Amino acid sequence: MGIITKKNNAQPRIVQVKARHFNSLKVTVAAVLIIVMVLMTAIARLSTKTLAQRQENSRLQSQVVALQGQIDKESQDALLLNAEKEGNRSKAVSYIQDIQEKLKTINNYMSKRGLRGLPFRNLNVGEKPKSDTKLYSDFSNYLDKLVNNIAYVPMGYPRLSSFTSFFGSRGNPFDFGGHEFHPGIDFSGHQGDPVKCTASGKVVFAGKAGGYGNCIKIRHANNIETWYGHLSKINVKEGQRVTVGDLIGKVGSTGRSTGPHLHYEIRRNGQPVNPKQYLSLNM
């Protein structure tokens, strides 16, 4: 390949350049262009990747902040819930301690009557129960025992009326001037007035019993019996189970009686005791 050159006023001269040098130059330029394009592409990708990473980091940071806020809120809610539970526990313990004091009082009354009290465990204020459920369950069982004990211990009035005669020595209504021992309490009433049992138990006698006339005898816990005398009607049978408050008979004047009334008697271990101490817990 030839190139024309001219120096001053001299005749133009043709310089011969070999074609292979031009081919090498073309290859070099092409290589440089390719390298530049590769570098520009790499830079562009790197820039895009960096931007994406920054956006991802920003998104992750936002999520972390939001998660931290959620955790803090849940922690606060948990603390508030625990505080509320502890407050409820404190109230529950206070109520239970109050119940315990009442149980002690009831046991004291039962002791005065010669009865065994309810066994129960005192709750130590410094003691942490296994769970609220266990705490409530224990005292629910104590109250069940209390209910059961009270149900089977004569308590209250077989009928709501005034007394006409009390337990102990009294004038003999059939022997003016004489005295006799009266083993129960007499309640005033009219023929046919209802008579209710004062405790749950088993009827061990229902029929005529000498001076008691038509009489009902019910056996309760702790070897205690209640007797109901001078009835006009008997509504139960021997062997029958009765529940406190059941209608068992009606007021009458059968047997050794001067008029319609109810003779109410309580016997412990076979011996009559004053029913007055069983009429109420408020002694």
pLDDT of residue 157: 82
Distance (Å, rounded) from C-alpha 163 to C-alpha 157?
11
Write the Ramachandran bin of 106: left for phi over 0, alpha for psi from -120 to 50, otherwise beta: alpha
The answer as to whether 22 is a domain residue is no
The answer as to whether 151 is a domain residue is no
pLDDT of residue 110: 66
Distance (Å, rounded) from C-alpha 80 to C-alpha 262?
62
Strand partners, 147: none
CATH code for position 180:
2.70.70.10
Return the structure tokens found at 151. 């149900």
Strand partners, 194: 250
The answer as to whether 185 is a domain residue is yes
pLDDT of residue 13: 53
Share of the chain above pLDDT 90, in %: 29
Work out the pLDDT band at 3, boundaries 50, 70, 90. Answer: very low
The answer as to whether 16 is a domain residue is no
Each residue's pLDDT tens digit, 113-139: 566 666 665 655 455 555 666 666 777
User: By the 8 A CB rule, do 123 and 160 touch?
Assistant: no
Query: Packing angle between helix 132-151 and helix 19-112, nearest 10 degrees?
Result: 20
Work out the pLDDT band at 101, boundaries 50, 70, 90. Answer: confident
Measured in whole angstroms, how far is the alpha carbon of residue 83 from the centre of its chain?
18
The answer as to whether 243 is a domain residue is yes
pLDDT greater than 60 at residue 55 = yes
The answer as to whether 193 is a domain residue is yes
- Sequence-distant (6+) residues with CB within 8 A of 121 are 138
**Total tally of structural domains belonging to the chain:** 1
The answer as to whether 156 is a domain residue is no
Each residue's pLDDT tens digit, 195-243: 999 989 999 999 999 999 999 999 998 899 999 999 999 999 999 999 9
Closest residue by Cα to residue 216 from 262, 155, 182, 163: 262
Residue type, 63: Q
The answer as to whether 211 is a domain residue is yes
pTM over 0.75: no
> Euclidean distance between the first and final Cα of the chain, in Å?
141
**Residue 173 is part of which domain span?**
163-278
Closest residue by Cα to residue 220 from 250, 237, 197: 197
Pairing of strands 261-268, 224-234: antiparallel
Residue type, 242: V
